[in-house]
Amino acid sequence: MNTAQRLGYPKSTKLIIIHADDAGLSHSHNRATMQCLKAGIVNSYSIMVPCPWYYEIAVFARNNPKHDYGIHLTLTCEWNTYKFGPVSPLSEVPSLVDKNGYFYKTREELRQYGKPEHIAKELEAQVQKALKFGLNPTHLDVHMYSVGAHADFFEAYRNLGAKYQLPIMVSGELLSMVGLNPQEIIRPNDLTTQKIHIGKYDLFKEGALNDYYTKVAKNLVPGLNVFLLHPAYDDMEMKAVTIDHPNFGAEWRQIDTDFFTDPKNKSLFEQEDIRFVTWRQLKAIQSKS
């Protein structure tokens, strides 16, 4: 039974969540995310609790509870000159940081050095910080899907979702991408995403991201589709954050913002066999299982 059926739709129904990652990363990112929610077709976003601009987006989330938002659990920091680290005291999660006290840049470093007990502690600390601020997240997902660096890390993620009764983003594609075997990880009751849609660096270099997004909208698969985008503005702030890192860099994020706030693109998803769904709906059926 796919996710569409569990929500009461025919198996062939194409469900869509258009989701914005990385809120809280920067002021630029927050402004673009808000714009995508207010004026665009984005219906979900997630918040990076450890990041410098978390407070701004947390206030927005608390004041705008109609929008679905999750906690974008963060264990890595890929940027060259823009750094952040754990919410937990460093003395309690020393295996998660480099010699300067910041998250590792890559999943490979996290896999090599991270201890499962420190992973579990930090993930819960991020959720607790959000809850204490008065946030009411609709789901959990993961920056760079770094919980997939090790099966024990993913188990901590799964346990966290169960503890707080929040759906977690489970994707066979993402698991394969980060090196885990989906058949060994995914369970029958998981609210599994049938297809993740995310831009590729080759498409960005070719100037073909818009064409790709348009093509995807016209060729969704039955079940749950999740569009993962990264809205921000190609301004001085984001250029500094993403310096020497064109993959998901400032220019790419501007493209995402423009596409998903363009009124002309809304019609791409207004087809009879496409239904927008929310994490709240997924949360409701999870609580019954």
How confident is the model at residue 289, as a pLDDT?
Answer: 65
Question: Which residues, 6+ apart, have CB-to-CB distance to 41 below 8 Å?
Answer: 18, 260, 265, 266, 269
Domain ranges across the chain: 3-288
Q: Which residues contact 159 (CB under 8 A, 6 or more apart)?
A: 120
- The pLDDT of residue 34 is 98
- For residues 42 and 118, give the distance between their C-alpha atoms in angstroms, rounded to a whole number: 33
CB 124 within 8 A of CB 88: no
What integer pLDDT is reported at residue 2 of this predicted model? 84
pLDDT value at residue 195: 96
User: Can you tell me which residue has the tokens 């300067």?
Assistant: 100
Continuous H helices in 221-278: 236-241, 250-261, 263-266
CATH of domain 3-288: 3.20.20.370
| C-alpha atoms less than 13 angstroms from C-alpha of 118 in its C-beta half-sphere | 19
Helix ranges, 85-227 (H): 107-113, 116-132, 151-164, 172-178, 182-185, 201-205, 209-218
| 10-to-82, 138, 233, 284 alpha-carbon distances in Å | 46, 24, 39, 18
Task: Per residue of the chain (289 residues), give pLDDT as tens.
Answer: 788 888 999 999 999 999 999 999 999 999 999 999 998 899 999 999 999 999 999 999 999 999 999 999 999 999 999 999 999 999 999 999 999 999 999 999 999 999 999 999 999 999 999 999 999 999 999 999 999 999 999 999 999 999 999 999 999 999 999 999 999 999 988 989 999 999 999 999 999 999 999 999 999 999 999 999 999 999 999 999 999 999 999 999 999 999 999 999 988 988 778 999 999 999 998 777 6
CA 266 centroid distance within chain: 21
Extract the tokens encoding 209.
Answer: 């991201």
